[in-house]
C-alpha cells in the first residue's frame, strides 16, 4: 500500500502544478492587454485548451474530492469546520462538471465559476487561520481546530492550499471553456 506521505506529496505536487497553470493564465491575460506576443500565446493556448477545459475541470474536482476523502477516511485526518465548508463547495462540482463534460456543454458557467471562487475564498480564510490561529474566533471546534496542519510539504503546501489550488484552477478552466468573442 502507498504511504500517506506519498499520497500527500503527490497531491501537493498537483497543487503546485495547478497554481503554476493559474498564475501563467493570469499573467498572459494581464500581459496580453499591452503585449501582442502575450496576446498571441494566450489565444493559442486557449484554442488548444478550450475544447477540453470542462473535462479537465471535472478531473480536477474529482481528484480534489477523492483526495479529501482519502485524507479523512484512509489517512484518518478529521476534517475541521472549514474543511467541511470547502468540501461543500468542491463535492458538487465533480459530478456537475463530469455531466457538463459528457454533454459538451456548460450552460451554468458563471454559477460554477462563482461556486469555485467562493470555495477558494473559504480556502483563503482557512490558510489565514492556519498561519494565525487567533483568527479562529469560535468558528472552529476546540477539539479539532482549523489551525492544525495535518499535511505540510515544501514548508507551505497544506490541505487548504491544495483546495485553493483546485478551486482556482477549476474557475480558470471554466472561464477558458467559453468560446472567445470574435474580434471586429
Q: Global pTM?
A: 0.92
Average pLDDT over residues 17-40: 91
Question: Residue 180 — very low, low, confident or very high, per pLDDT cuts 50/70/90?
Answer: low
Residues 6+ apart with CB under 8 A from 155: none
Mean pLDDT for the chain?
91
N-term to C-term CA, the chain: 57
Report pLDDT digits (tens) over 135-154: 877 777 777 888 889 999 99
Q: Is residue 107 over pLDDT 90?
A: no
Query: What is the pLDDT, as a whole number, of residue 156?
Result: 94
Query: Rounded to whole angstroms, how far apart are CA atoms 140 and 30?
Result: 37
Q: What average pLDDT does the segment 80-102 reach?
A: 94
* Dihedral, 115, 120, 125, 126 alpha carbons, nearest 10: 110
Residue 70 DSSP one-character state: I
* Residues listed for the chain: 184
Render pLDDT for 59-77 as a digit per residue (tens, 0 to 9): 999 999 999 999 999 999 9
Residue 183: its pLDDT value, please? 46
Q: What is the DSSP string of 38-60?
A: HHHHHHHHHHHHGGGHHHHHHHH
Locate 161 and state its grid cell: 492550499
Amino acid at each position: 500500500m502507498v504511504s500517506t506521505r506519498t499520497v500527500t506529496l503527490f497531491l501537493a505536487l498537483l497543487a503546485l502544478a495547478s497554481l503554476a497553470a493559474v498564475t501563467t493564465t493570469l499573467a498572459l491575460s494581464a500581459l496580453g492587454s499591452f503585449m501582442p506576443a502575450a496576446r498571441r500565446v494566450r489565444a493559442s493556448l486557449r484554442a488548444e485548451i478550450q475544447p477540453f477545459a470542462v473535462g479537465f475541470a471535472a478531473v480536477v474536482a474529482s481528484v480534489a474530492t477523492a483526495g479529501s476523502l482519502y485524507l479523512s477516511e484512509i489517512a484518518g485526518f478529521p476534517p475541521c469546520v472549514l474543511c467541511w465548508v470547502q468540501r461543500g463547495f468542491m463535492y458538487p462540482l465533480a459530478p456537475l462538471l463530469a455531466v457538463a463534460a459528457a454533454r459538451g456543454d456548460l450552460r451554468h458557467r458563471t454559477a460554477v465559476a462563482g461556486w469555485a471562487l467562493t470555495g477558494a475564498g473559504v480556502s483563503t480564510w482557512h490558510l489565514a487561520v492556519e498561519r494565525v490561529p487567533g483568527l479562529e474566533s469560535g468558528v472552529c471546534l476546540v477539539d479539532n481546530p482549523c489551525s492544525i496542519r495535518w499535511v505540510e510539504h515544501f514548508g507551505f503546501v497544506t490541505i487548504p492550499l491544495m483546495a485553493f489550488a483546485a478551486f482556482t484552477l477549476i474557475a480558470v478552466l471554466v472561464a477558458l471553456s467559453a468560446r472567445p468573442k470574435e474580434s471586429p
